[in-house]
Chain A
Amino acid sequence: MKRISILVISFFVLSFIGKAQDMILTLHYNFGQATGDFEQFTPDPAYRGGGLNFTRFLESNDHIGMGLSIDWVGFYKKTARSTFPYYDEQTGRTNSDINALQVRYLYVTPILASFDYYFIKDANFMPYIGFNVGTIYTEQELNISALSNRVNTAWDFAAGAEAGLHLVFGESGLGMNLTGMYTHSFYNHTFYNVLLNTNTGGIFSVGLGVSFLMLR
C-alpha cells in the first residue's frame, strides 16, 4: 500500500514537472470569524489556524488555476456563568435548572477544491479571485462546568469564495500571500440538553503566509 501511494504521488509530481506547468504552493497562518449559527456558538474571533494550498495552472489558459486547499481554524468561547434549563434528551422536557458556565470549542477543517482566476501573471503583484467547493470536517464541543464533554463531529458539504494576492519577491520564486476566504458549511447539530441548535454556519478567515511560485 505504501509503495503504491509513493508510486501514485511520484507519478503526479513527475507529470507536473514533465509538463512544466505553472504551480503555486502556499502556506499560511489563518485567523477567522465565525458567522451565522457558528457565530452564535463561538462569537469571538479565532487566532488559531493555518492552511495549505496547492494551485496548478491550466496549459491552455495560464490565468486559470485549479488546486486543493486544506485549512484549519479553532474557535473558542467561555461563556459567563448563567442559569438555564436542562432538558431530558429523550422526552425533551425539563424539570431541572443548571447554574454553570459553558466552555465551547469549534474546530473546522475545510478541504476544498479551488478554482482561481489570476488577473495579472508574470508580475510582482498577482491578484486573484476564486471559488472553492468541497467538504468540511467540524468538531463541536460543549462543556457545562463539571458535566462531561459533549462532542459532535461531522463531515459536511462546504462551498465558498476567495480573493487574494501574491507579492512576488523578484526572481527568488518566493512570495507573500494574503488571502480572504469565506466558507459556508451545511453543518447541523442540536445539543438537546440545552436546546442549542447549530444549523449551517460560515467561517470568514484571513490568511497571511508565504508562497512558493514555480512559474515559467
Chain B
Amino acid sequence: MPIPMRSLITLGAITLLLTACYRTPNDSVQYEDLDLVQTHYNASRLSGTSSYPNTYKTFVVADSFQFATNVEGVSIEDVNQPQYRIPLRQNIIDHLLDYGYLPVSNPTDTPDVYISLTVSYINTTSLTFYPIFWGGAGGWGYPYYGWGGGYYYPSYNWVPSVTSYDQGTMIIDWMDIKNAVAIPDNDTSFYNIDVEWEMVINGLVRNSSDADRLSRLQAAISQGFEQSPYLKN
C-alpha cells in the first residue's frame, strides 16, 4: 500500500505540532555564572592539614595593581582607577585582619607576607600562547615598602597553567617574604620568594561601564578567603 498524499500532509502537521512541544531548557548562561574563584596553596605550608605551623604574622598589601596584558591600548592606570582599587584593597586587608594577621606598624618594616595584586587582561581569541609582559618594571617589590630595596622574583609552588588566565583575571599572591632567599649579585640584591597561596579570580568583562563589576569582584575576594580557612592564624 503506497503512502497516500494526505498521510504526508498529516505528517507535516504532526511534525509542526511536535516542534511546538520542544521545550528549550533554561541553559542561558549569565556573566556571573562564568565567574570563577580558584585558590592554590602550597600543601606543605598552608594546607591546614600539614604539621607545618603557620608562622606568618605581619602583612603588607600592595597599594596598586600590577598589570599584565597582551592587548594594546589598555594602561596600568585603567586597572588602578580609585573607585575599584581602594575598596578592593580594603576588602583584602579586612579579610587578613579577620584571619588574625597584623599590618606592619611602620611602612619601612619588612612584613612576613607581601600580598601582591595583579590584573591580567588577556585576549585569547587569536592566541595559542600568552606573551605576557609585566606592566611596570620591577613591580614585584613595590618601592614604598623598602625591605632591602631589592628586586623580587616570584616562585610558584604549582604549575600556573592549570588555569587558563583568561580575559579579566585578578591574581592575589601570598608572597613569603619571611623565608625569602637572597641571591647574591654584584649591583643589587635579588630575592627568590615563594608564593605560598594564590587567589585567581576569573571572569568575563561585560563592558567598560559595568556597574556590578566591583560587587562581583568583592564577592569573589570574600569567597576566595572563605574557601581557604587554613589561612586563619
Please list the residues of chain A having a beta carbon within 8 angstroms of any beta carbon in chain B.
27, 29, 44, 46-48, 76, 78, 83, 86, 88, 93, 95-101, 103, 144-148, 172-174, 208-210, 212, 214-216
Contacts and interface: CB of A to CB of B under 8 A. Distances in A.
B60 to A, nearest CB: 25
Contact of B158 (A95, A174, A215): A95
A44 B159 CA distance: 36
Nearest to B41: A95
Given A96-B38, A96-B41, A145 B7 contact: no
B22 interface: yes
A146 B21 contact: no
A146 B33 CA distance: 8
Contacts of B224: 99
A175 to B, nearest CB: 10
Contacts, number: 101
Contacts of B73: none
B91 interface: no
A95 B42 CA distance: 7
Contacts of A174: 7, 10
Nearest to A208: B18
B22 A48 contact: yes
B223 interface: yes
Given A96-B40, A103-B27, A146 B227 contact: no
A95 B3 contact: no
B25 A48 contact: yes
B35 A145 contact: yes
Contacts of B220: 99
B228 A76 contact: no
B11 interface: yes
Interface residues of B, number: 44
Given A29-B18, A100-B37, A212 B164 contact: no
Nearest to B198: A96
A97 B228 contact: yes
Contacts of A212: 3, 7, 11
B38 A98 contact: yes
A144 B35 CA distance: 9
A147 B47 contact: no
By Cβ-Cβ distance, the 9 closest A-B pairs, closest first, are A145-B36, A47-B23, A99-B37, A29-B18, A146-B34, A76-B25, A100-B36, A83-B227, A146-B36
Contacts of A93: 43
Given A99-B223, A146-B203, A147-B36, A173 B27 contact: no
B158 A96 contact: yes
Contacts of A210: 10-11, 14
B63 interface: no
A29 B21 contact: yes
A86 B18 CA distance: 42
Nearest to B203: A146
A173 B4 CA distance: 8
Contacts of B35: 100, 145-146
A57 to B, nearest CB: 14
B120 to A, nearest CB: 13
A20 B159 CA distance: 68
Contacts of B157: 95
Given A47-B25, A86-B162, A96-B158, A144 B14 contact: no
A97 B38 contact: yes
